[in-house]
Amino acid sequence: MTIALDRPRKTKSAQIREKLGYPIIDTDVHTQEFPPAFLDYLEQVAGTALSFALAEGIAQRFQEHLPGASRSKWFKQSWDERRTYRTARPPFWTRPTNDALNLATVSLPKLLHERLQEAGTDFAVVYPNLATMAPHIGNEEMRRAVCRATNTYHADIFRSYSDRLTPIAAIPMNTPEEAIAELEYAVKVLGLKAIQIPGHVRRPIPAFEKYGEEVANEAIWIDTFGLDSKYDYDPFWAKCVELKVVPTTHSSGMGWINRRSISNYQYNHIGHFASAGEALCKSLFFGGVTHRFPTLKFAFLEGGAAWGASLYTDLIWHWDTRNKDHLVENNNPANVNYEELLEFYTRYGGELVHGRLDQLGSGLGFHADLVSPLEPGDLDEFAVAGVTKPEDIRDRFLNHFYFGTESDDTRVAQAFNRKANPYGDRVKAFLGSDSGHWDVPDITAIAANTYSMVERKIISEEDLQYFLSIHPLELYTSLNRDFFKGTAVEKTADEFLAGKLS
């Protein structure tokens, strides 16, 4: 049987691209590895950089260490075991299977490069699936080996297609030293120019480690590298600035306390990327990272932009109602006029308080223990972020954070709702299609999906250009002005840097 591989080249998306007159940049295209080829790289890394004990049989053993492998125990458990251990139902059936072309596109760079042009997409940042999982491997030697092999494999297979495709480097973040070592190798040796960090590291709560590994694996806290982190990650952020790379993240919140259904994967899936992104974003903000590194920007992939718009507004609101001066004036327990308060209780309390006014105490009810004075440093929770006025929040947020959004996510309208957003600004959403997964099987439909939001008046033509072109140009040239040099969007990037684009 002969299979016809010819296909139409003028897709609706390609026609839309011609109509737009500016490039489409997709910041989140997924691929998956060809296992035999990747295992060759892993064996090579293990043989040259690791201990013999780990190198021996690594190809057979590495899958046991993947985060997905630990979740797969759900499929082997009885329902009684799932209930006993509260094992979250993991992902299943996540690849496109009803069209061999779409499935092959996920794995073959040459085909992806070709179909990207059919789709009208000028340039894409590639997020290989293994690269998003590798930094979460628990065993340090295995984690470092898989990250190194993953980065080397993808640097090699995408090198010939760099005019339109660039893969991210997977950077483990368990310690700053580990992160810096892989970052330097990825940029200086492999020549990669885009990176992805995990949104968090799961760490055992020290007080529970004495109860054994099984308890310590469940009694964990989420380290997000900024606020309250175990380590000082400033040396890593400084290295990002030095090497001119923008940290992006594509991490999962699945399995966290409110995403731990034992029976329903969709319950666990909905909102989990946004949840993980928000945890990191708040940590970077309140931990002062955006204050100490004014040129460093961050991108959060696959969670959409609605949560970004919500968080931005929420930060402004919390400043208005919880800044230090407001608290001192309106919430300080020392402000209570006890005699006046007692008069109100006497006049209006009736039987509720009769004979018990001597037990009124401070009038703060069960919050009476908060009467004790706080240390000055404990009062101003915006201090580390360097915030002294609401405009600082605007600058720390809008100048640093970008939000990858899928082509059919109409909630992007919230990011671009300048009437509702504080100071009338856009929250910086851009196209992160998630192509290659179950929800976006066909890369040639992405531009058409996006443009339909203009046709339905969900966003404006001007918003669309920011979404598809200006925001990704802004992000990736922020540290590296040559990021798009030699690519299909080099001319537009030069015009942007010259100030010819908004």
**What does the longest C-alpha to C-alpha distance in the chain come to?**
95
For residue 222, the cross-strand partners are 202
CA dihedral 56, 58, 61, 64 (to 10 degrees): 140
Average pLDDT, integer, range 341-351: 93
Q: What residues does each domain of the chain span?
A: 12-321+388-497, 326-379
Tokens 């009684």 -> residue = 80
Structure confidence by residue, pLDDT tens digits, 171-223: 999 999 999 999 999 999 999 999 999 999 999 999 988 888 888 778 899 99
CATH number, span 12-321+388-497: 3.20.20.140
Average of per-residue pLDDT values in the chain: 91
Is the pLDDT at 355 greater than 50? The verdict is yes
Rounded Cα distance, 226 and 232, in Å: 8
Contact 208, 216 (CB under 8 A): yes
CA distances 67 to 195, 226, 262, 426, Å, are 20, 23, 17, 36
Structure confidence by residue, pLDDT tens digits, 356-404: 999 988 888 887 666 566 676 788 999 999 999 999 999 999 999 999 9
Question: What pLDDT score does 29 carry?
Answer: 96
Structure confidence by residue, pLDDT tens digits, 247-269: 999 988 888 888 889 999 999 98
Residue with more model confidence, 500 or 104:
104
Is the pLDDT at 70 greater than 60? The verdict is no
Rounded Cα distance, 492 and 473, in Å: 9
Q: Under 8 Å CB-to-CB from 131, ≥6 apart: which residues?
A: 147, 150, 151, 154, 167, 168, 169, 170, 196
Structure confidence by residue, pLDDT tens digits, 142-165: 899 999 999 999 999 999 999 999
Record the tokens describing residue 275, joined without a space: 């949840």
- Using a cut of 0.85, tell me whether the model's pTM lies above it: yes
Where do the DSSP E strands lie in 408-502?
429-431
